[in-house]
Amino acid sequence: MRQLVAALLILTATSALAREPITDAQVRDAIINESVAAYLATGHPCACPYNVARNGSQCGGRSAYSRPGGAEPLCYPRDVGDGFVADWKRSHP
């Protein structure tokens, strides 16, 4: 279900490109959604601290984001630098 929601958000952001220029904040959101969706696609529910575990609790410190080593999903706008934004805009004309 989360993957479907993430895919819809990405499609919405992509279709917005055709209508009007996308803001850097919207690009950051799209990059975060793509990163979280890629992690969740591995079958693990806790990409980011704000995600919800299978038992319904918030992931918090159990998230991949919070643990050193291994996967490093992008969870917050501060994690997405200007270079990421520029690269995304180039690859999504």
Enter the pTM of the model: 0.75
Band of pLDDT at residue 18, cut at 50, 70 and 90: low
* pLDDT of residue 55 exceeding 90: yes
* pLDDT of residue 64 exceeding 60: yes
Tokens of 2: 């989360």
Contact predicate 59/48, CB 8 Å: yes
